[in-house]
Amino acid sequence: MTSNPSNRRRVLTGITTTGTPHLGNYVGAIKPAIAASRDESFDSFYFLADYHALVKCFEPERIHQSTLEIAATWLALGLDTSRSVFYRQSDIAEIPELTWLLTCATAKGLMNRSHAYKAQVADNEAAGEDPDYGISMGLFCYPILMAADILMFNAHSVPVGKDQIQHLEMARDIAARFNHRYGERFVLPEAATDEFVATLPGTDGRKMSKSYDNTIPLWLPEKKLRKAIMKIKTNSQEPGEPKDPDEASVYAVYAAFASKAQRAEMRQAFSDGISWGEVKQQLFELVNSELSAPRERYEALINDPAKIEKELNQGAERARAIATPFIDELRHAVGIRRLD
Ligand code: TRP
């Protein structure tokens, strides 16, 4: 396959540029991705999914600001851009081009089964609306664009939250159908989810997500971070009462940041009746100790957008060095060829 001559395993993930990075993004995607980027046996690809942002966000300023914040976040957290390819989706014109080739190899029925799409239809029906009310073709075809992101670089492994597993299955389906039609072109990618961190609960106990408005922003100043952690919902059990860690959001968040030994100790403290206040204080200290040094680097980067832009341009150049010859091969494979 021309797209990967070195044959090293490839890890790839993207973050949609619609919001301010929160602890859920950090734990579920950014942290494992940066760890993988240090592993010499992998090649890693990380990108800002700004085309995906257009599906759900119609505020241009917000998309722009979010792109800046997310890029600064990855750099502040120590992404090594000399080893991994770090780029903005919209800088790679080959991606929307591949999206069309894939769209023509995607069964509409496959998209009909998308959880995100079906949930919207169900909401519309419950509200007595037309089933397609408010559903754009961007939303409907979202999984095809995501498949193009992944297949463009023939990624083997895609670190994502559990909610994205279906999108990975769809990417595999689409790749397999394309391969069947046009010869072996694409690696079939797999989702990589870590059992401790796949989804982090938010302050209300549901999955931490900007759509639930229950997030803890990653770069809160220390005092605000503590305040936000203190607001995580618990039950009304008193100090001294044994508590069940597996029922507690605070424990789930703690577990995502803690070492194995720290997790075991905290589980013991739960059965010994630690107070919620004390759990939260320990959680704050754990999270803050991990984030305080990167927080300073983040502040510096946010104030130097030209530096970020330069990094992204270099990343785009390296990504296109792969994407350009590969899209040429794919165009040829489907019959779009020069006439002479
Ligand atoms: N859909 C992903 C999310 O909402 C973001 C994303 C877009 C992505 N393209 C991707 C993730 C490709 C992994 C690979 O989290």
Q: Is 208 helix (H, G, I), strand (E, B) or coil?
A: coil
Instruction: Provide the token pair at 91.
Output: 């800088």
End-to-end CA distance of the chain: 25
Token look-up 């639930």 returns: 212
Predicted confidence band at 1 (pLDDT cuts at 50, 70, 90)? low
Distance 190 CA to ligand 1 centre (A): 13
**Measuring CA to CA, how many Å separate 258 from each of 27, 232, 266?**
11, 17, 9
The pLDDT tens digits of the residues spanning 92-122 come to 999 999 999 999 999 999 999 999 999 999 9
Across the chain, mean pLDDT equals 94
Mean pLDDT over 39-50 rounds to 93
Q: Is 236 helix (H, G, I), strand (E, B) or coil?
A: coil
Q: Which CATH class is domain 9-200+305-334?
A: alpha beta
Q: What Rg do the C-alpha atoms of the chain give, in angstroms?
A: 22
Residues 6+ apart with CB under 8 A from 296: none
Distance 13 CA to ligand 1 centre (A): 6
Instruction: Name the residue at shortest CA distance from atom 11 of ligand 1.
Output: 14
Predicted pLDDT at 121: 97
Lowest mean pLDDT across 12-26, 165-179, 197-211? 197-211
Nearest of 117, 58, 66 to residue 89 by alpha carbon: 66
Predicted pLDDT at 32: 80
pLDDT of 4 over the 80 cut:
no
State how far the Cα of 33 lies from the Cα of 14, in Å rounded to an integer: 10
Distance 150 CA to ligand 1 centre (A): 9
Mean pLDDT over 184-191 rounds to 97
User: Which residue of 167, 168, 186, 209 sits with most ligand 1 atoms within 8 Å of its CB, as the best mutation to test the pocket?
Assistant: 167
The pLDDT tens digits of the residues spanning 256-265 come to 999 999 999 9
Instruction: Name the residue at shortest CA distance from atom 6 of ligand 1.
Output: 14
State how far the Cα of 254 lies from the Cα of 289, in Å rounded to an integer: 13
State how far the Cα of 241 lies from the Cα of 269, in Å rounded to an integer: 11
Mean pLDDT over 273-278 rounds to 98
State how far the Cα of 90 lies from the Cα of 95, in Å rounded to an integer: 8
State how far the Cα of 158 lies from the Cα of 279, in Å rounded to an integer: 33
**Measuring CA to CA, how many Å separate 285 from each of 73, 138, 213, 288, 323?**
20, 42, 24, 5, 43
- With a 6 Å cutoff on the Cβ, whether 85 touches ligand 1 is no
Q: Beta 85-88 vs 42-49: how paired, if at all?
A: parallel
Residues 6+ apart with CB under 8 A from 226: 284, 288
Instruction: Provide the token pair at 123.
Output: 């909401």
Predicted confidence band at 211 (pLDDT cuts at 50, 70, 90)? confident
The pLDDT tens digits of the residues spanning 284-326 come to 999 999 999 999 999 999 999 999 999 999 999 999 999 999 9
| CATH no., domain 219-298 | 1.10.240.10
Mean pLDDT over 3-15 rounds to 85
User: Which residue of 66, 158, 160 sits with most ligand 1 atoms within 8 Å of its CB, as the best mutation to test the pocket?
Assistant: 160
The pLDDT tens digits of the residues spanning 54-91 come to 999 999 999 999 999 999 999 999 999 999 999 999 99
State how far the Cα of 273 lies from the Cα of 29, in Å rounded to an integer: 33
Predicted pLDDT at 30: 87
